[in-house]
Amino acid sequence: RKRVLLSPPRQYAYLYPFPHTHVSYHQSQVDFADPDVLTFPDFTRAGAVEAILEPGDAIYIPPFWWHRIEALDLSLSMSVVSPSAEEGHLAKASWTKLPFGALESVEQKAVGVQIYLVHLLSRLRGITSPRDYARELYDLRFAALFPESSLEALRVKAAPTEEEDMCLMHRPDKHKFTRDKLPKERIIASARTVAELVNYDEFVETKILQVWLGDYLEDLARWAVGTSRVHLFVAQCLDFDRLPDEAISTIWEEGPAVLSFEDDMVES
């Protein structure tokens, strides 16, 4: 016999998955047998459907549903995985070619991906802002693994190291110099194309979109700055509280007519 717990995609924010770039990706960081509610406070809000599988039983797990399976007796089981319509739809966006082939330095890659993601996040349904999404993603996937690099710790740090300032957000002159060498129009056009693909069909529910988006963002950050610095990219490069004003107006160029940035309004 086996005990099965199933949680729908809307429970994603309570289950604290490992980062997509972690060896245990798509698994929860929470020890279900002894949850640390101080480290993972929202886990107390998680819910699940329980089923007990008897010999000969079968169970269907819908796409993007979280599941935990516990053997109650000595048992043997077989699983069959098949592509879902949601995965097929999002794969079109994942495999869209991006104009990053000519970028060479880490700084060019980091700033190029930053500009692309800011434009993409600004266009996706269910995302209030790049800043808010980055904070939610960091708190959910990275905060417990990298407490020394928390958003609060980095925000109050007077002089971040060059490693932490990989997107040049504290060096606006160098950010502009790097930005001016990028194929900005093609980057913005790519963001618009991917957003249209993702937003086209609303049968992909918002929580599934956010799971995919977190993985997609991490993969781009890994390409730009390396696996060991993905958490710093999420913490630094999309936190609009700390983006230089000049970079904001340039990055948001061709975006929505009026964009909210904390208490200020940036008009394009």
Domain boundaries, the chain: 2-71, 85-248
What is residue 219's predicted lDDT score, i.e. its pLDDT?
94
CA 124/CA 202 separation, integer angstroms? 11
The answer on pLDDT for 148 being more than 80 is no
pLDDT per position as a tens digit, 155-172: 555 567 777 788 887 788
The answer on pLDDT for 144 being more than 50 is yes
Distances (CA, A) of 204 to 86, 214, 238: 6, 15, 25
- Could you tell me what percent of the chain has a pLDDT over 70? 83
What is residue 158's predicted lDDT score, i.e. its pLDDT?
57
- pLDDT, mean of residues 129-133: 88
CA 156/CA 247 separation, integer angstroms? 21
The whole-chain average pLDDT of the chain stands at 81
pLDDT per position as a tens digit, 232-260: 899 888 875 333 334 434 444 433 333 33
pLDDT per position as a tens digit, 9-64: 889 989 999 999 999 988 999 998 899 999 999 999 998 999 999 999 999 998 88
Neighbouring-strand partners of residue 50: 5
pLDDT per position as a tens digit, 84-99: 888 888 888 899 999 9
Q: Which residues contact 198 (CB under 8 A, 6 or more apart)?
A: 90, 93, 124, 204, 209
pTM higher than the cut 0.85: no
